[in-house]
Amino acid sequence: HPIEKLIEATQGISQGNFSVKIPVTSKDEVGKLSQAFNRMAETLKEEKEQLEGANRNSALYNKNLKKKIDDLSTLNKATKTLRSSSFPEKKFNLILHIAMGISQAKGGSFFSCSGSEEALFLKAKKGSELNLQLFTQLARKAIKSREPVASINGREVKVDLNLSSGQEASITTLAYPLRTKNTVWGVVVLDLPEKNFTLDELQMVSTFLEEANLIIENFLLVEIMLESRHMDSFNRLASIILHDLRGAVAKLSLSLHNAGKYYYDPQFRK
């Protein structure tokens, strides 16, 4: 009976079955009610699917948000560790170690330079089976272009890590320049040969290396200032010593002159 089918369908919907439908066999009130019920069931089904999709998106968003928070916490701890280190060589090793940890890289190297791609010095390296020839080539191009350079499908190209261009899906090796306003002073090279870096990993590395660049730049400025102060102190001390020495020499010279003048005077010798 149509009424019994309507009751059964209503029970099915109450249990979460929105696919249930009532066959419409007449045009009377029961038939109209069945049509209205079927439309309602279809609407509920669509809304349920939309709600499930929104829940999946929300779960993914929360997962990504948690990862971002964890990454920022890691970045904060990393910069604190880097600030607390007092020796430049140790800072170079720390920069490479932290950058590899953030990016999940399996190998890497840190090069220092004096602004020219020809004057390149390997300061730190980590990992096994490193392709230092490729690392050096990428580092030289990064110094020359003053921009990140990556190996993509065997080609060495400049990349913009602030934009999702699709290139990041193919990046296995990245050279990131550390620079001041006028020159590049170092390059970090990261390698992930068996798989590609993700855009989030590359952007986190970029954020950390920019912070590291400022830390090292400030550290070097402080060192220069301290060295300048030490030099000023040394110059002042040398000036005082030289002044006193000149006075002592002048007195000694006068004494010798007087001694020479009266040396043969018998009364003076008495």
Tens of pLDDT along the chain (270 residues)?
A: 666 777 777 777 777 777 777 776 667 777 777 778 778 888 878 888 888 888 888 888 777 777 767 776 766 776 676 666 656 677 788 888 888 888 888 999 999 887 565 678 888 899 888 889 999 999 999 988 889 998 887 788 888 776 655 555 678 899 999 887 778 888 999 998 877 888 888 888 888 888 888 877 766 655 545 555 555 555 565 565 555 566 655 666 666 566 565 555 565 555
- Between the CA atoms of 178, 179, 180 and 186, what dihedral angle is there, to the nearest 10 degrees? 70
How many CA atoms are closer than 13 Å to the CA of 63, on its beta-carbon side?
6
Instruction: Give burial (CB, 10 Å; 0-12/13-18/19+) of 171.
Output: buried
Please give the single-letter amino acid code of residue 238.
Answer: A
Identify the pLDDT of residue 139: 92
Specify the 3-state DSSP secondary structure of 203. Answer: helix
How far apart CA 127 and CA 192 sit, in angstroms, is: 10
Identify the pLDDT of residue 225: 54
How far apart CA 248 and CA 261 sit, in angstroms, is: 20
If residue 122 lies in a helix (H) or strand (E), which one and from where to where? strand 120-126
Identify the pLDDT of residue 175: 92
Instruction: Give burial (CB, 10 Å; 0-12/13-18/19+) of 20.
Output: middle
How far apart CA 270 and CA 260 sit, in angstroms, is: 15
How far apart CA 97 and CA 107 sit, in angstroms, is: 10
Identify the pLDDT of residue 247: 61
Query: What residue has token string 């007087």?
Result: 258
Asked whether 80 and 153 are in contact (CB, 8 A), the reply is no
How far apart CA 191 and CA 131 sit, in angstroms, is: 9
- Distances 4 to 14, 34, 60, 167 between C-alpha atoms, Å: 15, 11, 43, 61
Which domains, and CATH codes, for the chain?
2-65 (1.10.8), 88-218 (3.30.450.40)
